[in-house]
Amino acid sequence: MNFAEPLELHDYQYLGENFRERERIKRKTNRWRNRLETMDTLERHAIMNAISQLRAPTDRNDDAAASL
């Protein structure tokens, strides 16, 4: 197909080329989730704010394309 590669997926369950890569991604997401859950609330919000700023440029591109 001639579709552009998506920036986000609706389901990340099958992300990865094979079982080992999917397992690695699943373990990494679980480790990050556990770290975030045990963090101080303000520290967690600061980190999540930084992550949302990384996502913001792609959201702006979608908004600009929608306004055309």
Residues 6 or more apart in contact with residue 58 via CB below 8 angstroms:
7, 8
Question: Which residue ranges make up each domain of the chain?
Answer: 19-67
Alpha helices in the chain (DSSP H): 19-38, 41-67
Q: Is the pTM of this model over 0.85?
A: no
> What are 9-51's pLDDT values in tens digits?
889 999 999 999 999 999 999 999 999 999 999 999 999 999 9
Between residues 46 and 1, which one has the greater pLDDT? 46
Contact between residue 49 and residue 41 where contact means Cβ atoms under 8 Å apart? no
